[in-house]
Amino acid sequence: MKTKKIDIAACLGSYGLTINIGFFRYNIRSSLRTVEQSIETLYSDFELTDYETDSQLVDFHVLVDEVWQLRSVFNRQAKFFLDGLAPFNSLPIQHAPAIIEWGMNWCVSSQLNTHLIIHAAVIEKDGFAAVMPAPPGSGKSTLTASLIQEGWRLLSDELTLIDLNTLQVSPFPRPVSLKNESITVIKNRYPNVIFGPISSDTAKGNVCHIRPPSLSVKNQHVNCPIGWFIFPKYQREAKTEFFEFGKAQALMSVAENSFNYSVLGETGFDVLKNVIGKANCFQFKYSNLDEAIKVFSGLPVPQ
């Protein structure tokens, strides 16, 4: 059920706008117009409700608003708050749409231990998830943003959530973040993709987010087992290379890319041992997006 434009602004400016994303409920407040516009553009397929009249029980109460600092003399500043706690320093106010996206990720990665959380994109096809752990610079965002236009379902572009009991991935499909050249690449390849506002000159360069595919949002409660762990690495002018990655090394790499592997202790180790045991693990180097998409469509089906 979509709320009218004027309601979104009113909700954000008063008790809050509630959004259901995967199994999470966020209550968002902000008096900033850029945040309102960003949400309108990027979250139009999500169920948005007025906090005042809806259920009062949510996972996170978040706020992005202007704050007054010494730095405000040069550039107005905005800050992200989770229920009064500010985990990051303030940033220029024009980056507010990016701030809220980063903040919403931070809430999950810092508070949740019922799932093993990996810093990885995860997409699904034919009932199996492909998890792509990748540090910045690996090209994971461009790859993810392309694959979800080519028949793959988006489960998440940043946080892979593995249920400790079922070992399945719980979707958390949100606007996909793009940086610098990848913004141009995706704009040219997929002119129908909806872009949110671009935040220029952030610490990461130019950053923006694209609306997640409607079908991914519609299926945001459909979990699935992991079929593949794929470690992508974009390298300019490199030949496409796709080869098996030893499971022991894959386990170590995934653990290194996890937010809460160490907190989970023995459980974390057991979960990784099991999911990696059942999945196929690959390393993947590429420079050509068409070839990359072809490799993904030809992945061996897991047993």
Partner 1 sequence: MAIYQRLGRVSYTTWGSFSVLYNRNSGNTHLVENIPAILMEFCFSNSYFDEQELYQNIITDMNIDDQLVKNSLTSFVKMDLLEKVEN
Partner 2 sequence: MKLPVLILVFNGQIEFSELSEKQWDLLIRQAREAMLLAKLYYFFKKKQWLDKVPPIVFRYLKSAQIHSEKQFNDLCWEVKHLEKVAKELNYPLILLKGAAYTVAGRKASQGRIFSDIDILVGCENISNTEKYLMINGLVSSEVDAYNQRYYRQWMHEIPAMKHMYRGSVIDLHHNILPRTVKACPDAILLLKDSKPVFGYEGINVLSATDMIIHSATHLFYDGELEHGCRDINDLHDLLIEYSESNESLDALVIRANKLGLQKPVYYALRYVNFILGFSVSKGVINKLNKNIPTGIFVPIMDFLFMRALMPAHESCNDYWTGLARWILYVRSHWLRMPIYQLIPHLFRKSYRRILGKETH
Q: Show Cβ contacts of residue 84 under 8 Å, excluding neighbours closer than 6 positions.
A: none
Closer residue to partner 1 (CB): 53 or 267: 267
| Of 19-27, 54-62, 210-218, 248-256: span binding partner 1 (CB under 8 A) | 248-256
CA dist., res. 206 & res. 198, Å (int): 7
CA dist., res. 171 & res. 290, Å (int): 26
Indicate left, alpha or beta for 86 from its phi (over 0: left) and psi (-120 to 50: alpha). Answer: beta
Q: Does 164 help bind partner 1 (rule: CB under 8 A)?
A: no
Q: Does 244 help bind partner 1 (rule: CB under 8 A)?
A: no
Name the burial class of residue 53, with classes exposed (0-12), middle (13-18) and buried (19+) by CB atoms within 10 angstroms of its CB.
exposed
Interacting positions 273-302 with partner 1 (CB under 8 A): 273, 277
Task: Please pick, from the candidates 89, 113, 262, 288, the single residue that binds partner 1 as defined by CB under 8 A.
Answer: 262
Closer residue to partner 1 (CB): 66 or 270: 270
Q: Does 57 help bind partner 2 (rule: CB under 8 A)?
A: yes
**For residues 251 and 205, is the Cβ–Cβ distance under 8 A?**
no
Scan for tokens 């320093």, then name that residue.
89
Residue 255 binds what, of partner 1, partner 2, none (CB under 5 to 8 Å, by partner type)?
A: partner 1
Q: What is the largest CA-CA distance in the chain?
A: 61
Scan for tokens 């196929």, then name that residue.
280
Closer residue to partner 1 (CB): 21 or 254: 254
**68-107 mask for partner 1 (x: CB under 8 A)?**
----------------------------------------
Q: Does 203 help bind partner 2 (rule: CB under 8 A)?
A: no
Task: Please pick, from the candidates 14, 53, 75, 111, the single residue that binds partner 2 as defined by CB under 8 A.
Answer: 111
CA dist., res. 285 & res. 233, Å (int): 5
Residue 235 binds what, of partner 2, partner 1, none (CB under 5 to 8 Å, by partner type)?
A: none
- CA dist list (Å): 4 to 27, 49, 73: 17, 10, 36
Alpha helices in 112-224 (DSSP H): 140-147, 180-189, 214-218
Q: Does 61 help bind partner 2 (rule: CB under 8 A)?
A: yes
Residues binding partner 2: what is the number (CB under 8 A)? 19
The residue type of 114 is T
Residues binding partner 1: what is the number (CB under 8 A)? 14
Binding site for partner 1 (CB under 8 A): 246-249, 251-252, 255, 262, 265-266, 269-270, 273, 277
